[in-house]
Amino acid sequence: MKDLKSYIRNIPDFPKDGIMFRDVTTLFSNPAAFRHAVDSLVAAFKNDRVQKVAGIEARGFVLAGAIAHRLGAGVVPIRKAGRLPHQTIEETYQLEYGDATLEMHLDAFGAGDRILLIDDLIATGGTAEAALSLIERQSGDVVGCGFIVDLPALGGSARVRTHCERVVSLCSFDSD
């Protein structure tokens, strides 16, 4: 198995100038790399008695479903505003320009349930932090956060560690 990073496609200036987009769809489409990524995140949390895997729209859903299946857990979708059909709670957070809102169903899990948060990538940590706030507001017990990619220069993983001790990423890129 080659380094997982080599399966990630780098797209300069997407979605805007100056951003190097780390495109994990090339990793998802490679059977061995996708299996390796899922297996690695499953291994990291297999002893945590995870009850629900919360995935962040949209690339987080791909991982959350596969990981939950392997852990014998359920899946909780954390979605962009206006897409969940039932009663939701929402959390608005800052982006570089403007803001964004994430929503979760009010009854997505029970108080005290053991939750694993999953997304493809952590950059500034704003998205993950908003998702963690939603889970904490519903009294979920966050056992950890898992990502394929960390961009440590942007400080997100350090920020998220203030909410949850176990933050696992499978690879990192030094500049953004």
* Catalytic sites, residue numbers: 59, 96
Q: Please report, as a single letter, which amino acid is at residue 88.
A: T
Rounded-to-10 torsion of CA 41, 47, 51, 56: -20
Q: Per rule CB under 6 A, is residue 59 in the interface with ligand AMP?
A: yes
Binders in 89-148 for ligand AMP, by CB under 6 A: 119-128
Q: Per rule CB under 6 A, is residue 77 in the interface with ligand AMP?
A: no
Minimum distance from CB of 137 to ligand AMP (Å)?
A: 18
Q: Per rule CB under 6 A, is residue 19 in the interface with ligand AMP?
A: yes
Minimum distance from CB of 176 to ligand AMP (Å)?
A: 6
Nearer to ligand AMP, 127 or 169 (CB): 127
Q: Tell me the three-class secondary structure of 64-116, residue by residue.
A: HHHHHHHHCCEEEEEEECCCCCCCEEEEEEECCCCEEEEEEECCCCCCCCEEE
Residue 161: CB atoms within 10 A of its CB come to 13
Determine the Cα angle at 93 with ends 69 and 136, to 5°. 50
- Candidates 1-9, 14-22, 74-82, 108-116 — which segment interacts with ligand AMP by CB under 6 A? 14-22
Task: Report the C-alpha gap between 119 and 58 in whole angstroms.
Answer: 9
Q: Per rule CB under 6 A, is residue 40 in the interface with ligand AMP?
A: no
Count interface residues toward ligand AMP (CB under 6 A): 18
Contact 67, 53 (CB under 8 A): yes
Minimum distance from CB of 72 to ligand AMP (Å)?
A: 25
Minimum distance from CB of 48 to ligand AMP (Å)?
A: 22
DSSP state of 23: E
**Footprint of ligand AMP (CB under 6 A):** 19-22, 56, 59, 119-128, 156, 176
